[in-house]
Chain A
Amino acid sequence: MAVDVQQPRVPSWQRGRVAGWLVTVDHKRIGILYIATAGLFFAISGFLALLIRSQLATADGGVVTGNSYNEVVTMHGTGMVFFVIVPILAGLGNYLVPLMIGASDMAFPRLNALSYWLFAFGGIVFCASFFAAGGAANTGWTAYPPLSVLAQGNGQDLWILSLHILTLSSAAGAINFIVTIHNMRARGMSWMRLPLFVWSIEIYAAMLLIILPVLSAGLTLLLLERQFPDTFHFFVPEGGGSPILFQHVFWFFGHPEVYVMILPAMGIISEILPVFARKPIFGYKAIALSTVAIGFFSLLVWAHHMFTVGLPTYLNIWFMLASMVIAVPTGIKIFNWLATLWHGNISLDTAMLFALGFVSIFTIGGLSGIYLAAFPIDWQVHDTYFVVAHFHYVLFGGSVFAILGGLFYWWPKIFGRFLSEKLGKWAFTLIFIGFNVTFFPQHLLGLLGMPRRVYTYRDDGLWEAYNLVSTIGSYVMGLGFVFFLVAIVRSRHGRRAGNDPWQGDTLEWYTTSPPPPHNFDDVPYVTSARPLYDLRRRKRREGATT
């Protein structure tokens, strides 16, 4: 079937090497812009992380002052959550969702461009806050009032504004994803044939739409009370406000946000494991439904971040039980992934190594979450380095490992060339070892009594030893990312990839690498969750008969 692709008339100035990217509404270019911009923020926030670890290498470190330390901690956390992980997933989603469902673009290409540029603009405001009067925000990524209301200078205000802009960007992006996934799937692609990554993006988008308005509201109140402290009294008790109200608002957003960051990561893992084990995913329906279940339950557990504020016992019990319930669909995913490996033909390419690393590390992060859900135990470990270790096991060992695996997996599709496997394996080894050396001892520090967000700590043998080990681990990880960066630079001249270098199962591998602007000349009828596997088998059979 010949397809007549009508190229829209583009004014010549818009076709320049730079201008072409500035005015693009192509989901693939926007996806690449998202990933590159988020990569830049990753470098900035990662540098801040190394500053934190350098300061904490000794009990009384002098790398930064107490005040700058609080700024560094705040910007590292906010940067990683809002400007790295969520947008990089948005970028991968942007690039992959239309390709995976056999569409030619997102439903609203211009809205898509708006999403990206709002994100970039929000990022600029965020970075600019370092130069604000009084320095950047220094009240932690959670910005609890009254501290965040009393904070002097404009750093906190710019922090709020940057997140406001980002909220708009994410909401527009989420709407776009949902409309695209609901309306633009290829013929034959029923919900039970949807790639699991697309499933995860669907839930990611739905959750964002539910929680972002709540964050916006909370931030607006915070901004109003900061700017007009005599008029508005939402959170500061002096005028009749309640500081706990903000915590409810923030965590109603904040906890599902964690799943916004982990569900697409899990989706990536569900794409990589079967391809490199040469098997169908084990329990497709169970994994898809567990994604929905996690998304739903994550909306009901927010106050497990608030077990120490003195809530009534019946609330503590509810939030403990609801949090524990999430362990069940999470466990379902992990066991299904393990079963996917069973009797497979496993190739240990870098993408697969990161995916396997994800499973092993995320398991630890999931298990340490049980301690936090059981609220009497949480009374001990809350706001300590145990929590820091826990969420890095989930968000770094989880999300970032999956993103790195995803980049190694889809790089040949996006750029038509492979990332170096040799450098990739070095990067994986260093990051995997460095990660565990950095974050495992932090569990122990928390149990020993070290709170988070401190720039100096007790001069005690074990505290210093574990902190030093953790710092060394972070440098090893940093070195691993240098290898990754070199792999990216070298990939300009890397080995060329064909359409389907990994013998993948999903539609993105059907088109060329990189795909043409319109994505597909034709899209095969989708006969299962693995249309390309079916296609290959059909071709083999035809080849055998003729």
Chain B
Amino acid sequence: MPAPVRCNPKTVVPAVALLALLAAAAPAGAGNGGFAPVPPESPNAEGITESFWLVSSICLGIFLLVEGLLIAFVIRYRRRNRPRDADGAQIHGSSALELAWTAFPVVLLVVIATFVFVKLPGIQDVPAASAGRENLEIEVIGTQFTWEYRYPNGVIAVDRLRVPQGRTVELHVTAPDWDVIHSWWIPALGGKIDAIPGRVNETWFRADRTGVFDGQCAELCGIYHAKMTAAAEVMPASEFDAWLEERGTQQADGSSPLGEETWEGSCAKCHGLDGEGGYGPRIAGTTLIDDTEAIEQLLRNGRGNMPPVGRDWDDAQIDALTSYLEQNLGG
């Protein structure tokens, strides 16, 4: 026997209003402030942020409803002067209500799922290349604890990814067979995708504004996981083309900063920026520095805790590193 519904508006309305006010004031006061994903700079990231806002508006509604009712009921039906063991209304349930609060969430979930499906192609599918605007394909390789990028013309860069503005960039993300799982992620440029040994994953972005966007590895990959940072520098298209070409020439004649980048990305995190030692042993000033052969052996095979970071490097990269070591860390 259902008792007459008596929702006291005097208690419910102010409680709900207060919560709504708080919820609305918080993001307003803090700008974006973490109340939404990092402002998107690429269409795929935009699609995700839009989905985020849809889910957020529905969740906020349910949150206000549930917490509002909870607070209202506790205030309205608290004991006051009644004896502790006085019975409340002996209501055992209501099929109509059960049906309602089964159907209501189903409807909301259908709305969310539909919205996500509509947005999905814009988030996931790589836009087709148009005439004169070919997609730029870059190989992204995660190793402990650095990101390596390989451009179509053979240029290799470490940790800082340089890309042209306004052009679709396709990333083939992977990790070497002997390494561990990493996860590629620049929040402003879209969601993350794991770099898994022995497997190539695809993702993409198209940055419409120049600037440097930060990110970092998002899958625990060992002691310096926290230091496995990445940055994407979006350059004007012409500037990028010039950079790529110059870097290609430098790499061919051995004058590129690849040695330094490799040192800072692959070696310095464990051996210290000046080779002074840290988690890994001191290198600066040791006899090893001048023994190119021994260094190559070490890089290609690893030893103890040291992974074989250089197993897949070509000779140019090994040479770039060894000559950097000789010039900067020799005894």
Chain A contacts to B: CB under 8 angstroms:
66-67, 70, 138-140, 144, 146-147, 150, 152, 236-238, 242-244, 277-280, 282-286, 308-310, 313, 317, 320-321, 324-325, 327-328, 331-332, 334-336, 338-339, 341-348, 356, 359-360, 363-364, 367-368, 370-371, 374-384, 441, 443-449, 451-458, 462, 466, 503
A/B interface sample: 7 pairs, CB < 8 A: A279-B90, A335-B97, A339-B91, A339-B94, A341-B77, A377-B52, A382-B191
Which B residues, 63 to 89, have Cβ-Cβ distances below 8 Å to chain A? 63, 66-67, 69-70, 73-74, 77-79, 82, 84-89
How many A-B pairs have beta carbons closer than 8 Å: the answer is 273
Which B residues, 96 to 121, have Cβ-Cβ distances below 8 Å to chain A? 97-98, 101-102, 104-106, 109, 112-113, 116-117, 119-120
Chain B residues with CB under 8 Å of A279's CB are: 87-91
Which of B78, B181, B199, B279 lies in contact with A346, CB distance below 8 A? B78
Which residue of B88, B112, B190 has the most chain A CB atoms within 10 A of its CB atom? Answer: B88
Interface check B220, CB cutoff 8 A: yes
Q: Whole-angstrom distance from the CB of A295 to the nearest CB of chain B? A: 17
Provide the bound-state CA to CA distance between A149 and B93, in Å: 53
Decide if A343 touches B191 in the complex (CB within 8 Å): no
Interface residue SS majority, chain A: helix
Whether A367 contacts B304 in the complex (CB less than 8 A), given A278-B88, A374-B55, A379-B191, comes out as no
Provide the bound-state CA to CA distance between A345 and B73, in Å: 10
Q: Nearest 10 A-B pairs (CB), nearest first?
A: A379-B191, A444-B34, A237-B198, A454-B226, A344-B88, A343-B89, A310-B201, A341-B73, A279-B88, A283-B93
Whether A449 contacts B187 in the complex (CB less than 8 A), given A282-B92, A335-B101, A380-B192, comes out as yes
The stretch that binds A, out of B35-43, B246-254, B289-297, B319-327, is B35-43
Decide if B305 touches A152 in the complex (CB within 8 Å): yes
Chain A residues with CB under 8 Å of B215's CB are: 449
Chain B residues with CB under 8 Å of A277's CB are: 77, 88
How many B residues touch the partner, as a band? Answer: 35 or more
Decide if B116 touches A454 in the complex (CB within 8 Å): no
Decide if B70 touches A356 in the complex (CB within 8 Å): yes
Provide the bound-state CA to CA distance between A494 and B193, in Å: 56
Provide the bound-state CA to CA distance between A446 and B305, in Å: 31
The stretch that binds A, out of B126-134, B148-156, B172-180, is B172-180
Q: Whole-angstrom distance from the CB of B89 to the nearest CB of chain A? A: 4
Task: Name the residue on A nearest B66 (C-beta).
Answer: A363
Chain B residues with CB under 8 Å of A455's CB are: 226
Interface check B124, CB cutoff 8 A: yes
Chain B residues with CB under 8 Å of A67's CB are: 223, 279
Chain B residues with CB under 8 Å of A370's CB are: 55, 58-59, 109, 112
Decide if B79 touches A345 in the complex (CB within 8 Å): yes
Decide if A328 touches B106 in the complex (CB within 8 Å): yes
Which of A139, A332, A359, A444 lies in contact with B35, CB distance below 8 A? A444
Decide if A244 touches B84 in the complex (CB within 8 Å): no
Decide if A146 touches B180 in the complex (CB within 8 Å): yes
Provide the bound-state CA to CA distance between A139 and B52, in Å: 30
Provide the bound-state CA to CA distance between A441 and B221, in Å: 25
Which of B113, B192, B305 lies in contact with A324, CB distance below 8 A? B113
Decide if A328 touches B102 in the complex (CB within 8 Å): yes
Decide if A363 touches B113 in the complex (CB within 8 Å): no
Whether A139 contacts B191 in the complex (CB less than 8 A), given A344-B89, A443-B34, A453-B225, comes out as no
Decide if A308 touches B220 in the complex (CB within 8 Å): no
Decide if B92 touches A376 in the complex (CB within 8 Å): no
Provide the bound-state CA to CA distance between A332 and B101, in Å: 6
Q: Whole-angstrom distance from the CB of B197 to the nearest CB of chain A? A: 5
Chain B residues with CB under 8 Å of A152's CB are: 304-305
Interface check B317, CB cutoff 8 A: no
Task: Name the residue on A nearest B84 (C-beta).
Answer: A347
Whether A338 contacts B70 in the complex (CB less than 8 A), given A67-B223, A331-B105, A345-B79, comes out as yes
Decide if A308 touches B191 in the complex (CB within 8 Å): yes
Decide if A364 touches B63 in the complex (CB within 8 Å): yes
Provide the bound-state CA to CA distance between A374 and B54, in Å: 11
Decide if B87 touches A376 in the complex (CB within 8 Å): no
Decide if A282 touches B91 in the complex (CB within 8 Å): yes
Which of B55, B106, B219 lies in contact with A383, CB distance below 8 A? B219
Decide if A382 touches B218 in the complex (CB within 8 Å): yes
Decide if B222 touches A147 in the complex (CB within 8 Å): yes
Decide if B216 touches A320 in the complex (CB within 8 Å): no
Provide the bound-state CA to CA distance between A356 and B75, in Å: 12
Whether A321 contacts B113 in the complex (CB less than 8 A), given A277-B88, A310-B194, comes out as yes
Decide if B112 touches A324 in the complex (CB within 8 Å): yes
Which of A70, A320, A324 lies in contact with B220, CB distance below 8 A? A70
Which of A238, A331, A382, A383 lies in contact with B177, CB distance below 8 A? A238
Decide if A324 touches B79 in the complex (CB within 8 Å): no
Provide the bound-state CA to CA distance between A242 and B123, in Å: 27
Decide if A308 touches B88 in the complex (CB within 8 Å): no
Decide if A243 touches B181 in the complex (CB within 8 Å): yes
Decide if B180 touches A150 in the complex (CB within 8 Å): yes
Chain A residues with CB under 8 Å of B97's CB are: 283, 335, 339
Decide if A341 touches B93 in the complex (CB within 8 Å): no
Interface check B214, CB cutoff 8 A: yes
Which B residues, 9 to 68, have Cβ-Cβ distances below 8 Å to chain A? 33-38, 45, 47-48, 51-52, 55, 58-59, 62-63, 66-67
Which of A144, A282, A346, A384 lies in contact with B218, CB distance below 8 A? A384
Provide the bound-state CA to CA distance between A374 and B85, in Å: 46
Task: Name the residue on B nearest A239 (C-beta).
Answer: B177
Chain B residues with CB under 8 Å of A144's CB are: 180-181, 219-220
